[in-house]
């Protein structure tokens, strides 16, 4: 089991107003699963994803990642644990504008201190897989939305993570490009990568094995769409 | 319209509180420091201007050249003022002033040593303006045995200044009492001539009747006629020299004044305006230490630098925030505002900042006046901020800072094209960023120049103070004015020698640093004149002061003829050109009396008996006992014990005379008091400059981090650690600081080398001071930037990434 949470709670405090973004969430996600998180705007989907990605810490509750309790990890430990094992894909692509396509994809490997030749090899492999190799020297602004998202996916998979977290990966794309992104994610999942994806689109959610529904920070239902065998 | 601008300004301050606080804090500290500097400079420039006829008061100085020795001195002959009064029509009146050193004064049971007594003749108050609270200026110094006290002193002895007039005081244990004939207002701080008591010259008539034209040991001042020029006086003083001095020169040295000049010598009186004395004097033998105009320039430069640094903060932070303002500018433009109007708006805005900062600066000044006074030994009061000069400077500073800080943002921000702003197509501002980089580099350039210079000044002063003098200046106590012991002086010395703490004692005519005697001597068989400094002391002097014998021996009771012998230093041997000094004899002209031939019995290693700013001069040591000072060499650390024993013995012998002492090390160190004071001031100002520069850097990093939050978020999500994010942000600024450092090296080297050349004994700068300065500034900027960068790096990246 790659992810297991117990009573995960996240409270935001701003100007003395407390918002409970996550309210005692307990979920389990197995290795190789493809899970979609759904729910109305503001129900806590992104918050959950950022805690699962160890970008944020829960206010209370436990989070066991790959058998280790990471919920009390320090900033440094989280950064260490995240590196190389989790890839992120965002709705707004979030490529660094000052860096070329190649450099953007290379970035996670730089932080893992991987040698030059191996980096080049892996970046090119990821770009080829995403079918965007011919644009490797372009800058993000010069690409279409679909192309940018493919670069972002290439960047997410270049360090060969076991888990990919995607927050509305198709939110900014037209249906054709969106479909392509979903296909790529399914392929990655078929190759063994666990995927947790936030989405508003029931159509996209169909690609997942299982759907987790949140409402107002609470877990409402879990529905299994497809058979998944461990 | 102004109201509208005011509203937007206030709105902007409210919206960007952090930036407004940084701007105003930097500007107000900058303005406050520059106002302190302005007050310091205005005070320094005001010296002696309280004299009603100050622009017509001159001091006579002496330029001399004897062989290779050049003499510039404020000492003149006691004969001069009379001659100026009676024989020089361009002079209204002239006065003679003599430093009287430490003087004991007694009234009933109140007895103290006064260090600032001077002797003056009755023309004193006609030349200078030192108003009398009680007594009559015309007559106060006329009679023998008259004394004029300052108000403070009158209160000290009589409890009330109004009681002083007509009272009788015993001065220097004299048998005749002095009558208080006047109470003067305390001498202003900005007077080059400082005194607490004025003794009438005629009190010492017998002694001063011995004054001769060749003897220069008093200060002469004169008041120039309203339509005369000092050049006329200079010409006529030349006439006086020809008339009076030249014959004496011929009598003693076998050459008239003209013959002496023909042989390359010089001896000439000239006039120095009193306004020049405090800052522009190159003459030695001042009664009080004076200032130096180069320090005024340095302070001025630092003041300007600090204001520039603070203004740059304003420029950088306003342009950095330009994206926010661009929309406002675009909107105003579409509504018909011209560029001029917009520029005006931004200038008014920076002016508002500048004025607000000035108000806070006044508050800072108010709070810091006591610390400032402590630091500078000045007596500033808050009211002096409101004198017209200072107020005009403040207004000028506010105005210049407002324009300087506001102009670049104004021109930059109003240059946007409306259409680009509306479309949100604002270029990331790479040119603007480059300009900011240049400005930050400049700020750090200034800071680094100040850091390294201050370090070098500190190193030099420390070196000068710790330098081996050639005598052991520590643990030597001087008993001052020991002549007041009268016949008891031997007994006193013997009593001190009996204590185990006392290693040795010696009578001496002079307390180092300095000697009060410089005269012309010759080597027997040689017609050339040589100027030698001299002092006289007894057998134990060498042992007590701890200088070393190079050849021969010091005075000894075993050789009765030693009392007429001479000991010289190595510089004298060089000056005389001797190869076998112990076979030489010195001709001592001995004033008006019979000349004496003194056999050289010893040569001492050169030691520093004067200021460390001067080379070691030729020195002649003569024998004498029962002199005005006693030097006591003691062992151990307990100097208080030694003082109390010396005082106890003193009181046994002369209970009515106050006991007074000083330490040789203090007197040497006090030569550097003005430098130390400036050192403290420079250090403080350097600190403030750096602080303001760091404030700017702090704000700029906050801005950069804000601008790059998204990038920081992405990098973090991809695995960058806090440290790596930190490096990302600090790298950019470190580069600038490094550039500033490299650019600072040469100018600092050049400037400080020039300064160090003022010292006869100077340090070499060494690369370490520079390396240290560079490292310190790197660390300071790194810490400042990191402070902000850490905050950015620790934020949850999801916040930055989730919304587009
Ligand atoms: N930094 C924050 N401070 C305070 N409240 C926050 C913060 N971030 C999120 N919230 C609140 O937490 C709740 C959950 O936010 P979250 O971003 O997880 O919603 P979401 O389900 O991803 O919504 P959307 O579908 O619109 O992206 C919301 O009510 C939001 O206002
Ligand atoms: Mg969301």
Is the CB of B666 within 6 Å of ligand 1? no
Q: What residue owns the CA closest to ligand 1's atom 3?
A: A12
Distances (CA, A) of B645 to A83, B501, B629, B640, B658: 78, 10, 17, 9, 14
DSSP H helices, B88-149, are: 124-127
Q: Does A78 touch chain B (CB under 8 A)?
A: no
**pLDDT at residue B745 in the model:** 94
Q: What residue owns the CA closest to ligand 1's atom 23?
A: A42
Binning pLDDT at 50, 70 and 90, where does residue B410 land? confident
What is the CA(B726)–ligand 1 centre distance, in A?
Answer: 27
Total-model pTM: 0.78
Which residues, in sequence order, are CB contacts of B64 under 8 Å at separation 6+? Answer: B70, B71, B72, B73, B265, B266, B267, B268
Q: Which residue has the higher pLDDT, A78 or B621?
A: B621
CB contact under 8 A, B717 and A46: no
Q: Does B713 touch chain A (CB under 8 A)?
A: yes
Binning pLDDT at 50, 70 and 90, where does residue B666 land? confident
Q: Which residue of B has its CA nearest to A155?
A: B718
pLDDT at residue B639 tops 90: no
Residues 716-775 of B with CB under 8 A from A: 716-722, 724
DSSP, collapsed to helix, strand or coil, labels residue B217 as coil
Candidates B718, B794, B799: best to mutate against A (most CBs of A within 10 A) is B718
What is the CA(A135)–ligand 1 centre distance, in A?
Answer: 35
Beta strand ranges found along chain A (DSSP E) = 3-14, 17-25, 28-29, 34-38, 60-65, 68-69, 86-90, 163-167, 194-198, 210-215, 218-224
Q: Read off the pLDDT of residues B143-188 as tens digits, 9 standing for 90 and up.
A: 999 999 999 999 999 999 999 999 999 988 777 799 999 999 999 9
What is the CA(A227)–ligand 2 centre distance, in A?
Answer: 28
Q: In terms of C-beta distances under 8 Å and separation of at least 24 residues, what long-range contacts does B774-780 make, across chains too?
A: B774/B448, B774/B738, B774/B741, B776/B451, B777/B444, B777/B447, B777/B448, B777/B451, B777/B690, B777/B737, B777/B740, B777/B741, B778/B734, B778/B737, B778/B738, B778/B741, B780/B690, B780/B694
Distances (CA, A) of A158 to A102, A121, B540, B731: 11, 10, 90, 27
Q: Which residue of B has its CA nearest to A198?
A: B802
Q: Does B711 touch chain A (CB under 8 A)?
A: yes
Closest CA to A42 of A26, A20, A15, A60: A20
DSSP, collapsed to helix, strand or coil, labels residue B758 as coil
Q: Does B796 touch chain A (CB under 8 A)?
A: yes
pLDDT at residue B601 tops 90: yes
Q: What residue owns the CA closest to ligand 1's atom 20?
A: A42
What is the CA(A48)–ligand 1 centre distance, in A?
Answer: 10
Considering chain B, what percentage of its residues have pLDDT values greater than 90? 49
Mean pLDDT to the nearest integer, B342-348 = 86
Q: Does B708 touch chain A (CB under 8 A)?
A: no
ipTM surpassing 0.85, yes or no? Answer: no
Mean pLDDT to the nearest integer, B700-725 = 85
Greatest alpha-carbon span in chain A: 52
Option in B719, B720, B802 nearest A167 (CB): B802
Question: Could you give the angle at the alpha carbon of B642 between the alpha carbons of B641 and B643, nearest 5°?
Answer: 90
**pLDDT at residue B428 in the model:** 46
Binning pLDDT at 50, 70 and 90, where does residue B225 land? very high
Binning pLDDT at 50, 70 and 90, where does residue B760 land? confident
Spatial separation of the C-alpha atoms in residues B589 and A200, rounded to whole Å: 114
Binning pLDDT at 50, 70 and 90, where does residue B427 land? low
Greatest alpha-carbon span in chain B: 107
Which DSSP letter does residue A127 get? H
Which residues from A are below 8 Å from B803, CB to CB? 92
Tokens of B510: 């002079």
Mean pLDDT to the nearest integer, B647-673 = 85
Q: Does A108 touch chain B (CB under 8 A)?
A: yes
Mean pLDDT to the nearest integer, B342-352 = 87
Q: Which residue of B has its CA nearest to A98?
A: B711
Q: Read off the pLDDT of residues B56-108 as tens digits, 9 standing for 90 and up.
A: 999 999 998 877 778 889 999 999 999 999 999 999 999 999 988 778 888 98
Spatial separation of the C-alpha atoms in residues B290 and B193, rounded to whole Å: 10
What is the CA(A46)–ligand 2 centre distance, in A?
Answer: 4
Q: What residue owns the CA closest to ligand 1's atom 4?
A: A12
pLDDT at residue B804 tops 50: no
**pLDDT at residue B324 in the model:** 67
Is the CB of A91 within 6 Å of ligand 1? no
pLDDT at residue B523 tops 50: yes
Considering chain B, what percentage of its residues have pLDDT values greater than 70? 95
Binning pLDDT at 50, 70 and 90, where does residue B418 land? low
Average pLDDT along chain B: 87
**pLDDT at residue B771 in the model:** 93
Candidates B427, B704, B711, B717: best to mutate against A (most CBs of A within 10 A) is B717
CB contact under 8 A, A111 and B804: no
pLDDT at residue B322 tops 80: no
What residues of chain A score a pLDDT lower than 70?
Answer: 225-230
Closest CA to B316 of B436, B447, B444, B430: B436
Lowest mean pLDDT among A173-187, B379-393, B492-506, B774-788: B379-393
Binning pLDDT at 50, 70 and 90, where does residue B419 land? low
Q: For residues B42 and B186, is the Cβ–Cβ distance under 8 A?
A: no
Option in B711, B796, B804 nearest A96 (CB): B711
Q: Does A85 touch chain B (CB under 8 A)?
A: no
Is the CB of A92 within 6 Å of ligand 1? no
pLDDT at residue B55 tops 90: yes
């Amino acid at each position: 089991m790659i992810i297991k949470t117990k009573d995960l709670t996240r409270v935001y405090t701003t100007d003395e107003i407390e918002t409970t973004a996550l309210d005692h969430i307990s979920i389990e996600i197995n290795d190789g699963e493809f899970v979609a998180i759904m729910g109305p705007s503001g129900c806590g989907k992104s918050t959950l994803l950022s805690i699962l990605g160890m970008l944020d810490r829960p206010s209370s509750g436990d989070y066991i990642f790959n058998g280790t309790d990471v919920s009390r990890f320090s900033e440094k430990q989280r950064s260490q644990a995240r590196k190389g094992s989790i890839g992120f894909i965002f709705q707004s692509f979030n490529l660094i504008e000052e860096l070329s396509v190649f450099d953007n994809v290379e970035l996670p490997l730089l932080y893992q201190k991987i040698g030059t030749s191996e980096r080049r090899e892996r970046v090119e492999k990821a770009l080829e897989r995403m079918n965007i190799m011919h644009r490797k020297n372009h800058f993000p602004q010069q690409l279409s939305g679909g192309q940018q998202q493919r670069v972002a996916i290439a960047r997410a998979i270049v360090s060969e993570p076991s888990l990919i977290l995607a927050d509305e990966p198709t939110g900014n794309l037209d249906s054709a490009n969106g479909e392509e992104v979903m296909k790529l994610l399914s392929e990655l999942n078929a190759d063994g990568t666990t995927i947790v994806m936030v989405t508003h689109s029931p159509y996209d959610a169909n690609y997942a094995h299982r759907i987790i529904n949140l409402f107002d920070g609470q877990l409402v239902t879990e529905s299994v769409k497809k058979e998944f065998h461990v | 319209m102004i109201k509208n601008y005011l509203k937007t300004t206030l709105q902007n301050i409210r919206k960007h509180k952090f930036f407004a606080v940084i701007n105003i804090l930097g500007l107000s500290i900058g303005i406050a420091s520059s106002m302190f500097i302005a007050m310091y400079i205005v005070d320094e420039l005001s010296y002696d201007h309280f004299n009603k006829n100050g622009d017509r008061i001159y001091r006579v100085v002496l330029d001399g050249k004897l062989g290779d020795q050049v003499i510039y001195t404020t000492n003149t002959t006691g004969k001069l003022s009379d001659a100026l009064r009676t024989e020089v029509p361009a002079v209204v009146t002239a006065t003679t002033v003599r430093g009287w050193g430490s003087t004991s004064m007694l009234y009933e049971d109140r007895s103290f040593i006064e260090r600032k007594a001077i002797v003056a003749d009755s023309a004193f108050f006609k030349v200078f303006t030192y108003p009398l609270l009680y007594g009559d200026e015309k007559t106060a110094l006329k009679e023998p045995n008259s004394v004029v006290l300052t108000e403070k002193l009158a209160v000290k002895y009589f409890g009330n200044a109004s009681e002083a007039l007509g009272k009788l005081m015993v001065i220097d244990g004299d048998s005749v009492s002095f009558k208080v004939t006047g109470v003067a207002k305390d001498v202003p701080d900005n007077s080059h001539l400082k005194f607490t008591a004025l003794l009438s010259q005629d009190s010492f008539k017998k002694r001063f009747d011995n004054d001769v034209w060749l003897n220069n040991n008093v200060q002469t001042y004169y008041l120039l006629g309203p339509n005369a020029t000092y050049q006329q006086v200079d010409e006529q003083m030349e006439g006086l020299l020809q008339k009076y001095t030249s014959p004496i020169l011929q009598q003693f040295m076998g050459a008239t004044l003209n013959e002496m000049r023909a042989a390359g010598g010089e001896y000439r009186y000239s006039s120095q305006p009193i306004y020049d004395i405090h800052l522009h004097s190159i003459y030695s033998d001042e009664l009080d230490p004076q200032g130096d105009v180069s320090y005024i320039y340095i302070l001025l430069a630092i003041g300007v630098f600090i204001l520039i640094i603070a203004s740059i903060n304003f420029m950088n932070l306003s342009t950095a925030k330009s994206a926010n303002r661009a929309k406002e500018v675009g909107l105003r433009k579409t509504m018909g505002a011209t560029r001029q109007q917009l520029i005006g708006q931004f200038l008014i805005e920076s002016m508002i900042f500048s004025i607000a900062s000035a108000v806070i600066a006044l508050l800072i000044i108010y709070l810091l006046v006591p610390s400032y006074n402590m630091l500078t030994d000045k007596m500033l009061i808050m009211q002096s901020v409101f004198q017209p000069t200072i107020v005009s400077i403040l207004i000028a500073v506010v105005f210049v800072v407002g324009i300087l800080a506001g102009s670049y943002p104004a021109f930059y921000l109003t240059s946007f094209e409306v259409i680009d702003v509306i479309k949100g197509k604002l270029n990331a501002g790479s040119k603007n960023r480059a300009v900011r980089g240049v400005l930050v580099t400049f700020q750090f350039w200034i800071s680094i120049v100040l850091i390294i210079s201050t370090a070098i000044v500190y190193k030099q002063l420390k070196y000068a103070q710790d330098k081996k003098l050639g005598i052991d200046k520590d643990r030597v106590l001087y008993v001052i004015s020991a002549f007041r012991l009268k016949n008891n002086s031997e007994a006193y010395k013997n009593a001190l020698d009996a204590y185990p703490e006392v290693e040795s004692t010696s009578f001496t005519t002079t307390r180092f640093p300095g000697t009060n005697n410089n005269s012309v001597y010759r080597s027997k068989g040689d017609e050339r004149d040589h100027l030698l400094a001299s002092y006289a002391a007894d057998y134990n002097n060498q042992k007590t002061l701890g200088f070393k014998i190079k050849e021969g021996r010091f005075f000894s009771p075993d050789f009765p003829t030693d009392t007429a012998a001479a000991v010289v230093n190595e510089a004298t041997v060089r000056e005389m050109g001797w190869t076998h000094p112990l076979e030489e004899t010195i001709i001592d002209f001995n004033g008006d009396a019979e000349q004496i031939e003194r056999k050289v019995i010893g040569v001492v290693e050169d030691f520093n008996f004067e200021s460390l700013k001067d080379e070691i001069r030729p020195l002649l040591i003569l024998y004498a006992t029962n002199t005005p000072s006693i030097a006591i060499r003691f062992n151990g650390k307990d100097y208080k014990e030694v003082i109390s024993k010396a005082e106890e013995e003193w009181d046994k012998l002369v209970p009515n005379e106050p006991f007074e002492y000083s330490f040789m090390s203090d007197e040497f160190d006090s030569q550097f008091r003005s430098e130390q004071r400036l050192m403290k001031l420079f250090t403080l100002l350097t600190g403030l400059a750096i602080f303001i520069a760091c404030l700017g850097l702090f704000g700029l990093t906050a801005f950069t981090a804000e601008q790059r939050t998204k990038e920081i978020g992405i990098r973090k999500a991809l695995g960058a650690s806090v440290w790596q994010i930190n490096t990302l942000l600090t790298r950019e600024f470190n580069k600038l600081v490094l550039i500033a450092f490299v650019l600072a090296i040469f100018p600092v080297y050049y400037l400080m080398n020039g300064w160090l050349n003022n010292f006869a004994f100077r340090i070499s700068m060494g690369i370490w001071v520079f390396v240290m300065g560079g490292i310190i500034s790197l660390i300071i900027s790194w810490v400042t930037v990191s402070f902000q960068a850490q905050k950015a790096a620790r934020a949850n990246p999801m916040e930055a990434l989730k919304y587009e």
